[in-house]
Structure 1
Amino acid sequence: MATNAPDITIDPLDAASSATLAPRSYYGQIEIDAWFCVLERGKGKVIYDPQQHSADQRRTAIKISLLPLPEQNVQFPLEREMIAESREWAGIVLPSLKALGINNVREANGKWAKMQQVPSGRKYRNAKGEEKEATTFKFLALYPDEAACQAAYMADRGQEPERQPAATPCPNGSNGDKARKLEVAKPFIAAFAKQCGYDLECTKAACRTQRIITDAIDVESPEFAALVAAALAGGK
């Protein structure tokens, strides 16, 4: 007769000897941008100019971001930049999107997703001279909206999603929702500001394509400039 007694034949030291690090899953909203470029030695990617460059020099630069759910406490966007005509994109990222029904990458923009960072096959050396393996994005699931993405994240953690109270009329209309979106967007604005050296125009350009930010605030507004200034003050 079968019992529920633990299997004492398993040796924990054997298990420790063969353990591997499980890839962490991230849940959030996808943002993708692309532009034509040319790869120049010593410069990297430069904008493709048909008046200066031949057609066979043209490559497609991809910038893909995942803006994590606030519940994950990741206070910055996860980003990768790559060339579309590379193994990283054509062999890993794009097939993972196509497996989820995405035929054109435009369809992925703004989607809520589950993603893991997986080895890209590329090696690099860090500031200490240590060889490291670069990672890239592999998408595992898409969700119809933020609530479904949040529910999947909570289920992954073995938790029940929080039940939202029934909506009640608010004299300020959607101001409460706008304020909530702004609180979510603030850490991302600060992260982009830091990446841009707290330059306002650079931060505007970086944030302009991030829906989680543009849904919350106008990047041309004085309020946005104030948030960048506050990020600078906080970063000192």
Structure 2
Amino acid sequence: MGNERSVNDHESAVVIEVNSQPSIPHSIDDGFPRRLSKVVKNSGKSLRQFAIEAGISDSILRKYLAGTSDPGRKNLISISEVGRVSIEYLATGAEHLAIGTVSPKEYVPIPMLNLEQFTNFGKNVGHEFPEESPFSFHREWIDRLSLHRERTLEIIITPNDNMAPTLCKGDWMLVDRSATTLRNGVLYVFAFAQEKVVDVRRALLSEDGGCCLLKVDHNPNMDQLFKLDDKGIPKILGEVVWVGRVMTGVYR
């Protein structure tokens, strides 16, 4: 059946690459359908779309998921590329086989937000900003936080201590750029056009939902009250969903 192989040919179907690095002993298990189901779900794609991108029919993919057929080498490679997981994980369940190596497909690199489009922000906070983010997050961690739209996540460095102790200057913020609907008590990154700065505020909504207080935790004198239909309200760049602190003070 073309590139397809029967369940009995499973072992020969997964022996596709040999490298010179020592491998951790492992045995091939029978959990391929379960792992494949997890990979398709975590991809955020429909079963049909996943099959199209992998270059196989959705009926064949359903057979893989049902455990009535196993993929040959070509299709296994295609599935791993679309699902962005290692071939070893699909075939054996092992996260990584070679000692000291980790599959880069298991991690999502998060870019730095380009602030030049909003302000001259980087010039007035006292330190240089890296051009590229050093952060990559494991896909399962992103999934646990329900951050399925990973392409909307970006990193911003906290510019000051206005939101201390929650946020301090130099903290790394993971911001969901797709979250632009204000929720009460949540931290958001705003672009203030008049002041030409980007900064963090806590959104406090009125009971009737018509007004929002942009609260500065460390300096109440900087609090600003806006009507939600006011055209002058600062641009919402996204919701702060995670914070990492550099304890050595490199960026402080």
Q: Which has the higher helix share?
A: 1
Q: Given the two structures, how large is their TM-score scaled by the length of structure 1?
A: 0.23
Q: Given the two structures, how large is their TM-score scaled by the length of structure 2?
A: 0.22
Q: For the pair shown, which has the larger CA radius of gyration, 1 or 2?
A: 2
Q: Which has the higher strand share?
A: 1
